[in-house]
Amino acid sequence: MKLDRSTPALIGFLIAGILAVWVQGVLIPYTQPYWGLFGNFLDLDVYRAGAQVVLDGGDLYDAKLLGQMDFTYAPISVLLFAPFAWLSAGFAHLLWTVGIFVALYLTVMIGFRSLGHDATWQLRVIAGSIVAVSALLEPVRSTIWFGQINVFLMLMIVADLVRPEGSKLRGVASGIAAGVKLTPLIFGAYLLLTRQWRAAVTMAAAFAGSVALGFALLPTASSKFWFGTMFDSDRVSSPQTVGNQSIRGAIAVFGRTDHPSTALWLALAVPLVLVAGWAAALAHRRGQELLAISLVGMTSCAVSPVAWSHHWVWVVPLLVVVIHQVFEKLTGVGRWSLTLLAIGATLAALAWRTHFGFPMWFANRTVEQAYFTGLFFKHPRWFDWFTTQPFTLILVVTAVVTIGAYRRVRDDQPSADTAVTGRR
């Protein structure tokens, strides 16, 4: 079935998108004060407050923003946040939200284009529907609700690395993204692993340039960040938080400690990096660059000291890969197997609601009630091992399935997608 020319597929995705908008309101009403999809923007307000500190001549990394929050990004990020500090809160929130949806749409469209699809109006409608459905996933919903930056960084990296390997600027956007938030540096390791030397050098140069620009514009803040603050992962929050969807977070939560074992963390993280790296390298060699990028992005979350659920927006390009495979590449048992795995992963990644009908302290305020989202707030005794860390398990399954699918294909035998896109 040709996805972007199939009327049944178009109607199905359109219905799914409309239902997703309705379910979003059922999950937590849009008009619910503070907890509605567009009712928070805590992180965006922290970005704006941090930029305002710099504009006022203050100390970026010593200031307590909004009363108690710390600024955790590199100094160069202030250049991105300063324009929003000049705007009113309401207009900044609106503009940022529109930007998130545009970034999601562009990520989906670029992903499909990299897989050989034409940008037909049908595909654009399908992409819009996928964006609506993806907003029901915990990483995306939390990104919108908090006003997070992750989808913008993801768009930069996806748009950058799906380009042909001979592109002169390939690696620039990824290096800048790493200069804003350090976790994209893992893509440099991926480029080296897959012997994409030119892109790796370009990314390193762009990263170094962003750091140098930060020192030129904000020398004091840059010195404090690069020689001290960046090593303090506890500035982000206590690792023993159920929303910390990293391996270190799992160790802290299961061990009920704010000081998880570094040795155990490495013992679990290193094998995961090796397995995911193998899967990403195989995907790259088979012309599956979008899958490789998704694997590397998810790995960056899993091995980080702290990775909130909204960091896992890499499930969006992974969703594009799965839809492409199910509709256009696989048949029979393979199609049904991947479909069932995708349904399971989607259910695990959904923004399941947990309601607490009593006052509590949340983030930087007292709330009369709480509507938390994410499977990790569910703790059935018989299934707690899964619900506590669903995203890392999604990564593990994706890596294993990728290795199983591609390790037997000869290096000189192009995959079906390579034949479609004409890229190796």
- Span 7-63, pLDDT tens digits: 888 999 999 999 999 999 999 999 999 999 999 999 999 999 999 999 999 999 999
Q: How does the average pLDDT of the chain come out, rounded?
A: 91
- Give the 3-state secondary structure of residue 30: coil
Residue 409 has pLDDT above 70, yes or no: no
HSE-up (13 A, CA, CB side) for residue 319: 30
**Exposure class string for 35-58: b at 16+ Cβ within 10 A, else e:** bbbeebbbbbbbbbbbbbbbeeee
- pLDDT tens for each residue of 105-134: 999 999 999 999 999 999 999 999 999 999
Taking a C-beta distance cutoff of 8 angstroms, is the pair 95, 84 a contact?
yes
Alpha helices in 115-149 (DSSP H): 121-134, 138-146
Q: Which residue in 230, 245, 226 sits closest to 300, CA to CA?
A: 245
pLDDT digits (tens, 9 = 90+) for 269-323: 999 999 999 999 999 999 999 999 999 999 999 999 889 999 999 999 999 999 9
Residue 418 has pLDDT above 60, yes or no: no
Residue 353 exposed, middle or buried by CB count within 10 Å (0-12, 13-18, 19+): middle
Supply the pLDDT for residue 238.
Answer: 73
What is the arithmetic mean of pLDDT over 158-178? 95
Spatial contact of 297 and 157, defined as CB atoms under 8 Å apart:
yes
216/310 Cα distance (integer angstroms): 31
For the chain, give every domain's residue range: 3-421
What is the share, in percent, of the chain residues with pLDDT greater than 70? 94
pLDDT at 422: 39
Give the pLDDT of residue 345. 95
Crossing angle, helix 89-114 and helix 150-161, to 10 degrees? 30
Contact 60, 71 (CB under 8 A): yes
CB 61 within 8 A of CB 74: no
Q: Which tokens in the block code for residue 222?
A: 């840059």
Give the DSSP letter of residue 306.
Answer: -
The answer to whether 272 and 302 are in contact (CB under 8 A) is: yes
Write phi, then psi, for 29 (nearest 5 degrees): -50, 140
What is the per-residue pLDDT for 410?
Answer: 60
Tokens 């890596």 label which residue? Answer: 399
Cα separation values, 105 from 100, 232, 318, 404, 407, Å: 9, 34, 14, 30, 32
Between CA 247 and CA 257, with CA 252 as vertex, the angle to 5 degrees is: 165
Q: What's the confidence (pLDDT) of residue 233?
A: 62
Spatial separation of the C-alpha atoms in residues 301 and 392, rounded to whole Å: 8
Separation between Cα atoms, residue 218 and residue 264, nearest integer Å: 37
Flag whether pLDDT at 416 surpasses 60: no
- Which pLDDT score is estimated for 299? 98
